[in-house]
Structure 1
Amino acid sequence: MNSYKCINRIYRYNNLLEDVDFHLNEGERVAIVGPNGCGKSTLMKIVLGEEDPTEGKRVVNNSVQIEMLAQQPRFDASLSVRDAILNELSELREAQEEHARLSQEVARDFENSELLAKMERITAFLDHHNAWNLDDKIERVLQEFKLKEYEHRLVVS
Structure 2
Amino acid sequence: MVVLEGINATVEQGERIGIVGENGAGKTTLLKILCGEYQPDEGEMQLTRGVTLGYLEQNSKLDPQQDVYGEMRNAFAPVLEAMNRMHLLEKKLEKDPHDQEVLAEHAKLSAVIDAADGYNMDVNIKKVLSGMGFGPETYQKSVAVLSGGEHTRLCLARLLLQRPDVLILDEPTNHLDFITMEWLENYLKGYSGAVLV
Post-superposition offset of 1:17: 3.5
Aligned to 1:139: 126
Post-superposition offset of 1:78: 4.3
What's the TM-score once normalised by structure 2's chain length? 0.56
Equivalent in 128, 142, 162 of residue 154 of structure 1 = 142
Segments of 5+ residues of structure 1 without an aligned counterpart are 1-13
User: For 1:84-127, what per-residue CA distance to the aligned partner results, in whole angstroms no more than 9, with x for missing partners?
Assistant: 22234323322222232233334444444433332232222222
Report matched runs for 1:31-110 at 5 Å.
33-35=19-21, 36-110=23-97
Q: Which is strand-richer, 1 or 2?
A: 1
For residues 106 and 18 of structure 2, the distance between their equivalents in structure 1, rounded to whole angstroms, comes to 36
For residues 66 and 85 of structure 1, the distance between their equivalents in structure 2, rounded to whole angstroms, comes to 18
Segments of 5+ residues of structure 2 without an aligned counterpart are 147-197
| Matching of residue 22 in structure 1 with residue 13 in structure 2 | no
**Compared CA separation, residues 70 and 127, structure 1 to 2 (3 A):** farther
**Compared CA separation, residues 100 and 21, structure 1 to 2 (3 A):** same
Amino acid at match of 1:154: S
Bigger mean CA deviation after superposition, 144-153 or 47-56: 47-56
Which of 1 and 2 has higher RCO (CA within 8 Å, sep 6+)? 2
Bigger mean CA deviation after superposition, 135-144 or 93-102: 93-102
Aligned length in residues: 142
Contact 1:96–1:132 (Cα < 8 Å) also in 2: no
Describe the SS at the equivalent of 2:2: strand
C-alpha RMSD of matched pairs (Å): 3.0
Bigger mean CA deviation after superposition, 109-118 or 133-142: 109-118
Describe the SS at the equivalent of 2:55: coil
**Compared CA separation, residues 117 and 30, structure 1 to 2 (3 A):** farther
Q: Which is helix-richer, 1 or 2?
A: 2
Aligned to 1:130: 117
**Compared CA separation, residues 45 and 104, structure 1 to 2 (3 A):** farther
Contact 1:93–1:134 (Cα < 8 Å) also in 2: no
For residues 86 and 77 of structure 2, the distance between their equivalents in structure 1, rounded to whole angstroms, comes to 14
**Compared CA separation, residues 152 and 112, structure 1 to 2 (3 A):** same
**Compared CA separation, residues 90 and 77, structure 1 to 2 (3 A):** same
For residues 60 and 98 of structure 1, the distance between their equivalents in structure 2, rounded to whole angstroms, comes to 31
